[in-house]
Amino acid sequence: MVAVGTDILAMTEPVAAPPGSGDHGQQRRQELAGFLRSRRERISPEQVGLPPAARRRTPGLRREEVATLAGVGVTWYTWLEQGRDINVSPQVLDAVARTLLLDPHERDHLYRLADVQDSSPMRDCQAVPPTVQLLLDQLEPFPACVRNARYDVLAFNTGYERVMGKLSDLPFEDRNSLWLVFTSPRCRDAMLDWEEGTRRMVAEYRAAMAEHVAEPAWKCLVSRLTKASPEFAELWERHEVASPENLTKRYLHPDVGLLRLNYTHLWLGQRLGTRMTTYTPADGDTDTRLRKLATMPVPER
């Protein structure tokens, strides 16, 4: 369980912001209130170390639980979620973002709605706990990654980079599997079943987006892909939907040849859409080639 930070509590008594913010400010605060409620309601008590819930009237965490876990005053957080005109510090927003398990896109959206400058660069925001990264590393030489429902790659091991190309140097907005399969020549050339694979990915994205149609990060990715790839635009207009399945993919690696990989989704948070995907060899030749690949440096993109 997260400990209450008394130093933060001391700074978070409700204080009204200066008057004169106007209609735009009121609209922004209402958007912030709705966003906070939606993020709070998707998290179960067990995900943040609280005892299992029993007979709750509404889904997710209670306001007082978010406040306690974030180390802020209950009244202050209630005012924030009601769209009141109050001052918000970057430190307090950071605590709220961590408590609500926001990914980097959601965190950026939170700061924009609150009209606060984020003092921590997006690339430094830990989207998954260190224990998950440790598990990814233990799966070597088999590739593995953690993605959210939007296909943002939140974490990965070196085996994943050896197969997919180097991701570490990419900005977060480009570290997205859907973006890479449509815009990276390396990814496109490596996927032997590119047309079927991309059709399924677009259908999965459209299905997942049904719960996020008003969220800027989802719409922004569709807009970027539509402009960057005619193939994506054509698939998007089909309005096909699909759910994630455990299947087999074929990759033609330039250094070791054909890789046949069974991929398995392990859900880290069903309601968050966050899942770990592991890629295990579908045959003995692939196992041998993955182990050979583990002795090679990570290729550049």
- Give the pLDDT confidence of 208-255 residue by residue, as tens digits: 999 887 777 888 899 999 999 999 999 999 999 999 999 999 999 999
Q: Which phi and psi (to 5°) does residue 98 adopt? A: -70, -40
Collapsing DSSP to helix, strand or coil, 110 comes out as helix
Give the predicted TM-score (pTM) of the model: 0.70
Distances (CA, A) of 166 to 126, 186, 293: 19, 11, 14
CB 242 within 8 A of CB 203: yes
Q: What are the structure tokens assigned to 271, written together? A: 């309601």
What element of type H or E holds 145?
strand 144-147
Tokens 């569709």 correspond to 222
Domains, the chain? 6-124 (1.10.260.40), 130-293 (3.30.450.180)
- Give the pLDDT confidence of 138-190 residue by residue, as tens digits: 999 999 999 988 999 999 999 999 999 999 888 888 999 999 999 999 999 99
Residue 48 has pLDDT above 50, yes or no: yes
Q: How are the residues of the chain apportioned to helix, strand and coil, as percentages rounded to the nearest 5?
A: 50, 15, 40
- In the sheet that holds 257-269, the strands lie side by side as 153-156, 144-147, 274-281, 257-269, 248-253
Distance CA 234, CA 255 (A): 33
Length of the chain in terms of residues written:
301
Collapsing DSSP to helix, strand or coil, 45 comes out as helix
Collapsing DSSP to helix, strand or coil, 280 comes out as strand
